Chain A
Amino acid sequence: MLAFLARRVFIAIPTVILISLFVFSLQHLLPGDPILVMAGEERDPEVIAALREKYRLNDPIPVQYLAWAGNALQGDLGISLRTQQPVLELIAEKLPVTIQLAVMALAIAILIGIPAGVLSAYKKGTWIDWVANITALSGLSVPNFWLGIMLILLVSVKLGWLPASGYMPLSEDPLQSIRTMLMPAFVLGTAIAATLMRHTRSAMLSVLKSDYVRTARAKGLRESVVLIKHALRNALVPVVTVITLLFGELLAGAVLTEQIFTIPGFGKLVVDAVFNRDYAVVQAIVLCTGIAFILMNILADAAYRVLNPRMSEQ
């Protein structure tokens, strides 16, 4: 297993380099000039010249890339052009927020999606299946921003149960932290639950038809044991793939949801950074997101081997 993990990490290195090159070139292809935005409304030519010099934007792009990559290798991702804050510090500030939101959203999605998927496969064609399908479809179709605003108006303004928006670090006040994240996690979670439910359902349907499930039933095992221990465990392999991909996506930041609930996570940071052409921040976040996706994929591969030991032998 260790050798497998080491091999996968080693293969990931060129991918990371490619991502960083791609992002670097891409954002320099964007129209618009970061210095014009940064120089302020007056756009004083003297200020513009000083800023260009300061941030080395007069250098050719390959030189800028090499300088950036050299610093990044030493753990220095630069500073935000907009706030002067070191980018690494910014990421350290945002990452726990985004991870918390992602974990809570995924937990909600798994709690809803997998049982619903199992149930609707088991009761295929009955009213339960229909209700689960329709609920899943609405979960997917309702736009996050709309659901978010409706929840704020209902739960916060009308009922006063939860804070309308904002964020409280988990370390400062765990209960309040979970309260502030509950609505955004729910909004994100319901959409993901629908995807999970559909995948679980189809995986369960094919597994439930297989010979070993029939054998298990013939042995006289309890139906719950057949369903959960025999069928679900095997049906989970494709579902795990979906979960890891979804988790990777969540880590990239849920732009709209973060914007509506004013959650200071990656999504909001990257959108603001793009609009302000805050190159160092965009570069660092895309890189981190890329690495997160790669890690998720490696973890998924490792999870398959745990769920289905036959895969290790291949």
Chain B
Amino acid sequence: MSMQDTPDDAVGRRHDDRSLRERIGAALRSRVALGVALLLTLVVFWILGQRNGASLSDLLSLTVWGIMLGGIISLGAIGLTLVYGVLKFPNFAHGALVTLGAYGAFTIASFLPRGPVLLPFSFGWELLAAMVLAMPAVSLVALVVDRVLFRPLRQRDASLVLLAMASLAAAFFLRSSIYLIWGPDFLFYYPGRANPALHLPLGIRIQADQIFVFVLAMILVALTWLLLERTRMGKAMRATADNPDLAQVRGINTERVIAWTWVLGASLAAAGGVMYGLASQLRPEMGFWLLLPMFAAAIMGGLGNPVGAIVGAVIIGIAQQVSSSFINPAYGPGVAFVLLVIVLVLQPQGLFGKGGD
């Protein structure tokens, strides 16, 4: 879709009578400049890492882990960007859907018979089944929240701020439900089960689970892309995101499109939560911590643009992981935030966003 966007370098070539300062400002705010700035940031992170004594294979491993992390972030970011596109508000409750997916799968898996470990991975079929079941469960929660909270606001044409505020309320409601049901302690899908790293060429160390997470994320992303590009409902989603009024005029039942958007977004969020939980552990705040990277990825890719969100997520994943070679890993979300600020300052429309110049 908007991937065909030609980068807007016409700004520089256009015959113009603006002052040099204005022209430099405009050039700095173009999409190319944003891409270059993001790339430079990654390069700087690499150099900083090397200065701090990280070896080349360490940095390569970190980069690969970053791509894996990007896969997880992208699952959340796609949902965020779709909801943003179709419903036109930042959904602060999206992180809570991620958490809910992880915990929901935990509970579902505990009811399923435990199968053999699928070597070289650390999990069995039951976790995959639990994930598949958690996706509709979380979708249902999202639909209920929409029906109770967002739909009345939508019908009243409520302002963006009120919708954002409502999503904040939903976020805290879901988070407190998670605390109430599962408690504040960390949980593990498979406590104590190790997943030793595989040794790949170039000295890259990586866990089989991480590869699985990435591959699964990419499969889901590809399916989402197919859905959006090839199916009637997917095209209707894009149409509604593009122009909600016209979508109504064309006879598209926008409430149904919105419902499917929630289902898609929540399912991907739930899957992302399970993978995040598999890669680390289950914490009630895990989704909230992902919220900032997800928003950063969605904005970086251009709000409403799923393909952009994936690119943004991978950039942010790499930046977060590589940055841990020279600063405290706890600052991961902070790194996402810095990238977000770069995007907002240079080009708030993001790398592939529509409109603006």
Q: A and B bound?
A: no
